[in-house]
Amino acid sequence: MSHIIVIGAGQAGSSLTAKLRNLGFDGQVTLIGEESTPPYQRPPLSKAYLLGDMARERLFLRPKSFYADQKIELHLGQKVEVVDTAARTVTVGGEVLEYDQLALTTGSQPRLLPASIGGDLDGIYTVRGLPDVDAMAPEFVEGRHVLIIGGGYIGLEAAAVAAKSGLKVTLVEMADRILQRVASTETSDFFRALHSEHGVDIREGCGLKRLIGDGRVTAAELSDGSTLDVDFVIAGVGITPATGLAEMAGLTIENGIQTDDLGRTSNPEIWAAGDCASFPRAGGRIRLESVPNAIDQAELVAENMMGAEKPYVPQIWFWSDQYDVKLQIAGLNTGFDQVVVRDGGAARSHWYYRAGQLIAVDAMNDPRGYMVGKRLIDADKNADPVVVADASADLKPLLKA
């Protein structure tokens, strides 16, 4: 009987194994994860779950009984020790499992603050998994002071939750502006103003020099020469693809685990999907850190494991919730040279162009603008900037152009 092993029990791993059964694969399926919890949603961790608005059980992608019903063998709370590609075996929990095909859905891991600047003190947290959020939740007590390091979406979402919980919030960003790596000046300006309205002290062009404390962090010295008394720290300084097992297996690494457009790695019996995988697109390679990509790419890999030979064409979209603002992003804004602002008051969107072609949209409480923009981008159509800039103009006719 054929045996498929999937390492990484997150969104991609859960989606891949479920899709295998949905496609009628009747061989053995094993899903291995380092956490003891069944596969769960990550986006609500730093928002609804941390605020106490979502019960733990609601995080689970599927009830644990699903895996038993589908005959998907779960190895939870176990770390893979060895991947032996010559023998086609995986060693986990002291047990050696043989595979016919292997999929790596190992996701990503947060960058940590160096111990040399106090990064090993207690009271310093990252926002990545359920254990991280469970550990930091007791720190969210009204009136306490949290320092957030990093002005990307993770840092801003954590700042929003902290501010809503009544904490004093200081956020530092080493770059000239928040969201500099991922968004336009216009989008940065919007979210800076939003957070300032909620009392968040945002310091741009300001880095962390060192954290101070005897065992536990009590203060932070910043690059602008100031020192802050803090009760705890959240580090949102980026993530890196989890490629350790791929490297052990001798796979090619290029900004993650290198795959072809089918999801196959440099070893024909090993596949990869989700945050850890980089794949060909538009003459280059990209790696997407998003829930939609994790689901879509994993399901396509499941099909290709069964011989479909279908190339992956991603539908690129992301989202972020901060206070009462839902940000929806369609496309990738890489290389944009023009931003058109559509200001409808409560609904606002920023449309990115490169050489006159629409490539991405940031929509803030503007689901209609997001929907039209996404459909245009997915169909490789354009949008007249004059129409886009007129908030009173109906966007739907753009879809028929």
What gap in Å lies between CA 146 and CA 167, rounded to an integer? 7
The burial of 360, by beta-carbon neighbours within 10 Å (0-12 exposed, 13-18 middle, 19 or more buried), is given as: buried
Number of Cβ atoms within 10 Å of the Cβ of 225: 8
Q: Using alpha carbons only, what angle is made at residue 338 by residues 333 and 344, rounded to the nearest 5 degrees?
A: 90
CA 263 to chain centre: 19
Q: Which helix (H) or strand (E) holds 58?
A: helix 56-59
Residue 212 has a pLDDT of: 98
Q: Where are the alpha helices (DSSP H) in 234-352?
A: 244-248, 291-305
pLDDT in tens, the chain (401 residues): 699 999 999 999 999 999 999 999 999 999 999 999 999 999 999 889 998 899 999 999 999 899 999 999 999 999 999 999 999 999 999 999 999 999 999 999 999 999 999 999 999 999 989 999 999 999 999 999 999 999 999 999 999 999 999 999 999 999 999 999 999 999 999 999 999 999 999 999 999 999 999 999 999 999 999 999 999 999 999 999 999 999 999 999 999 999 999 999 999 999 999 999 999 998 899 999 999 999 999 999 999 999 999 999 999 999 999 999 999 999 999 999 999 999 999 999 999 999 999 999 999 999 999 999 999 999 999 999 999 999 999 999 999 87
**Structure-token match 């009760």, residue found:** 231
Kindly write down the DSSP assignment for every residue of 204-259, as one continuous string: ET--EEEEEESSBEEEEEETTS-EEE-SEEEE---EEE--HHHHHTT--BSSSEE-
Residue 186 β-bridge partners: none
What gap in Å lies between CA 93 and CA 186, rounded to an integer? 50
Residue 282 has a pLDDT of: 87
Q: Give per-residue pLDDT as tens, 128-137.
A: 899 999 999 9
Residue 260 near residue 279 (C-beta atoms within 8 A): yes
Q: Give me the phi and psi of 326, to 5 degrees please.
A: -105, 115
Number of Cβ atoms within 10 Å of the Cβ of 344: 15
Quick one: CA dihedral 367, 373, 374, 375, positive or negative? positive
pTM confidence score: 0.95
Which homologous superfamily is 112-235 in?
Answer: FAD/NAD(P)-binding domain (3.50.50.60)
Answer left, alpha or beta for residue 17, where phi above 0 means left and psi between -120 and 50 means alpha: alpha
Residue 355 β-bridge partners: none
Q: Which long-range contacts link 180-189 to residues 24+ away (Cβ below 8 Å)?
A: 180/151, 181/152, 182/152, 182/153, 182/333, 183/333, 183/362, 184/333, 184/336, 184/339, 184/350, 184/352, 184/362, 185/339, 186/339, 186/341, 186/350, 187/350, 187/362
Location of each CATH 3.30.390.30 domain in the chain? 324-400
Three-state SS at 270? strand
Fold of 3-109+239-305: FAD/NAD(P)-binding domain (3.50.50)
Query: CA distances (Å), 311 to each of 280, 299, 400, in order?
Result: 10, 12, 28
Location of each CATH 3.50.50.60 domain in the chain? 3-109+239-305, 112-235
**Structure-token match 């969201």, residue found:** 179
Residue 180 has a pLDDT of: 97
Residue 181 has a pLDDT of: 94
CATH class of 324-400: alpha beta
Residue 1 has a pLDDT of: 64
